[in-house]
Amino acid sequence: MARMHTGKHGKSKSKKPVVGTGSRPEGLKLSNDEITKLIVDYAKQGKHQALIGQMLKEKHNVPYIRQIFNKRLYAVLNENGFRAEIPQDLMDLLKRAITLRRHLERNHNDAHNKTSLGRVEAKIWRLSNYYRRTGAMPSNWKYDPVKVALLIKS
């Protein structure tokens, strides 16, 4: 697949193994209930999804959640009552947009970061439309940089 804002093509030769879902990886000693308990414990500590997955891989030798549960990590978190109001990937984009806006307030002539802000906000609009359409976010949610800055600050 091509990149979004360049004329270049995507990355090739992914290192992720092609393994069918529902099959347990070899050498995995933890049961599904123990893995779910670890996920819930990390979520209670305030860790976000990417960090939970990384910690499961490094500390507990759990390679891929989807391979074990036939669903993604956010689905496991949603089932256990840890549904976020704003999905993590959108929240990361919102944080990036806020830091870019703060930078541009101090550096008005930074043309490169003005372009970057436009690209990040375009991604925010597209992603928020998708999440509103699928029901992952409220249908009346709109991107307002001032309100988002207050939301992230709190």
Let me know the angle formed at the C-alpha of 150 by 147 and 151, rounded to the nearest 5 degrees: 85
Closest CA to 63 of 53, 71, 49: 53
What's the N-to-C CA distance of the chain in angstroms?
Answer: 37
Kindly list the domain boundaries of the chain, sorted by start residue: 32-79, 88-153
pLDDT at position 70: 85
pTM (two decimals): 0.74
pLDDT at position 16: 64
Sequence-distant (≥ 6) Cβ neighbours of residue 71 within 8 angstroms: 65
pLDDT at position 1: 42
Q: How far apart are CA 153 and CA 98, in angstroms?
A: 10
Q: How far apart are CA 110 and CA 40, in angstroms?
A: 43
CATH classification (class only), 88-153: mainly alpha
Per the prediction, the chain carries an average pLDDT of 86
At 52-93, the pLDDT tens digits run 999 999 999 888 888 888 888 988 999 998 888 888 889 999
Question: What average pLDDT does range 98-112 have in this prediction?
Answer: 95
